Amino acid sequence: MVMNKKQKKVLIRIIIAAVLIVMLVLLPIKNEYLRFGLFMIPYLVIGYDILRKAFKGILNRQVFDENFLMAVATVGAIALGEYTEGVAVMLFYQIGELFQGYAVGKSRRNISDLMDIRPDYANVYTDGALEQVDPDEVEIGSVIVVNPGEKIPIDGIVTEGTATLNTSALTGESIPREVETGDEVISGCIDMTGVLKIQTTKEFEESTASKILDMVENASSKKSRSENFISKFAKYYTPAVCIGALLLAFLPPVIRMAFLQMAPAWGMWVYRALTFLVISCPCALVISIPLSFFAGIGGASHEGVLVKGSNYLETLSQTKTMVFDKTGTMTLGVFEVAGVHHNKMEEKELLELTALAESPSSHPISKSLKEAYGGKIDPERVKDVEEIGGNGIVATVDGKRVAVGNGKLMERLGVECNECHGIGTVVHVAVDGAYAGHILIADRMKPHAKEAIQALKKSGVTKTVMLTGDRKRVADEVAGELGIGEVHSELLPADKVSLVEKLLSEQTGKGKLAFAGDGINDAPVLFRADIGIAMGALGSDAAIEAADIVLMDDDPLKIAKAIRIAKKCIRIVYENIYFAIGVKVVCLLLGAVGIANMWLAIFADVGVMVLAVLNAIRALFVKKL
């Protein structure tokens, strides 16, 4: 059990007070004044800070809090000669506070692990010498140096060097990532091996680490309905029980004297009122409910899922419809050659001619063709390049006239082409007016995409939908392979918004709709959905800004994990609410009729608080899917 300096001091006070109480209980002290004086020592050792807080609250006109209730109850018990009970109430209250402090500290440490991504400096060349500067002072386009063991301070592109990066603070994954010249890197990762030179592509305040920290730091300001209810509940509940305790202390004795002609029994009724006060302390609710949400957010962040507020955690737990974008969300958004079909020449030769013809283009499909060829591109071998918009490219390669493009280009050139039955983009190739074959280029599925859909169904999601701007044939194939129930293709951004609004109107009961996307065109839909989930590693800034939840490693499997975390957190919240209120109502009734004494009151207050806090800590721990 890791404790801070303040908690260690409280623990020492608890031990000292507990030892003194045991000694005083065992010692047969007859003199009442001496007994009072000796019991005041452990009382002040354990309770001086509570008395001070209660006094300050009275001075600041913020009377009705748990410190006031503890002070009144314990001082009253001591005034009635119940020294052991009075000191014990304060002792066990401090034990409960210690448990609460530990629980908060544990969930804060989970988030602090994430806060370690904040870089302290950036290494920049100034006048030929390497200088450490504040990351805020580094401009876009600057070249920074990251040495082994240092954090990458700002997003950028590697211009020199190779290294292994530890990305666990960002993604929750322990597997290192290898980077080399030309790779994009994000701030917050730790360089484990080589020296890297990185050209920055963003300012520090716009970089990944800075945005993540801002999201986490602001998460606590967005409270859930449950937290708001507890805050309002405590505001009215505490004054109400104080008035109830006063009535219990004075009304029955007055009735006994005035109407029943009996002795008032002031001591008995004041003792019952004090017991009533101790039982009524709302610590369990006021502490455990926010702590449950805080622990839930901490547990999620440890898994690489950033939740921007506890209100989103509550909404996520009610998700029944899950809507996905396709490219970059369920697929990698990386085009690659999936096959060469109907080729009239060697596959390697066809790819070489195609790559050379496409060499002047920067289109993603052109890049995938060049990567599939893998050889050196010599521009001198390519002449007379003619780009035909919406059709393709015609160029002379090594003296051969090579045409690369879609079916329209082949039709335009009078070349009969073969149909492809594969799913993806088909690139037809003709050499010197004769059909040479076609190349199939497809987007790769994310490794856990299919598993993610199955996990979502197990997590209580009843409807899965995919929206995409891609062709119907491709979209249907992807949806069928993944097991997605409903698919809409060939959509514009405005069409996606309209479809999400239609799906929202079909929701019944408390069921919510979540949308997961990664592109700039997904931002309007992320705003419109009940819960917007963005891919944080490769997703656009607009999507991350618009989303309520960010997945730091772009793994769709984490969506099901986030829903499970949210459901567990909400379940714990309601367990604590029902348990705390139920025990208190029973004990308050028992205390009012004199069945419950101060020891039962201690359990009803401190015992319930400790159990509720320990229950809240469970939200930190996430089982593997």
Extended beta strands in 406-507, E state: 425-431, 434-445, 463-467, 486-488
Task: Map residue 289 onto helix, strand or coil.
Answer: helix
Angle between helices 472-482 and 449-458 (to 10 degrees): 60
**C-alpha distances out from residue 347 to 340, 344, 423, 427, 587, Å:** 7, 9, 19, 14, 82
Cβ-Cβ contacts under 8 Å for 612 (sequence gap 6 or more): 284, 285, 287, 288, 576, 579, 580
**Of these residues, 65, 155, 191, 325, which one is catalytic?**
325
Name the DSSP letter for residue 116: T
**C-alpha distances out from residue 463 to 297, 454, 460, Å:** 26, 11, 9
Cβ-Cβ contacts under 8 Å for 467 (sequence gap 6 or more): 323, 324, 325, 326, 487, 488, 491, 495, 496, 499, 500, 525
- Is 155 designated active site? no
The pair of structure tokens assigned to 563 is 């829903």
Instruction: Quote the CA–CA distance of 281 and 601 in Å, as a whole number.
Output: 10
**C-alpha distances out from residue 242 to 248, 269, 286, 612, Å:** 10, 14, 17, 23
Residue listed under structure tokens 């497809």 = 442
One-letter amino acid identity for 439?
I
- Report whether 146 contacts 189 (CB < 8 A): no
Cβ-Cβ contacts under 8 Å for 578 (sequence gap 6 or more): none
Cβ-Cβ contacts under 8 Å for 586 (sequence gap 6 or more): none
Instruction: Quote the CA–CA distance of 278 and 422 in Å, as a whole number.
Output: 73
- For 269, other C-beta atoms within 10 Å of its C-beta total 19
The pair of structure tokens assigned to 356 is 């050379």
Active-site amino acid positions: 325
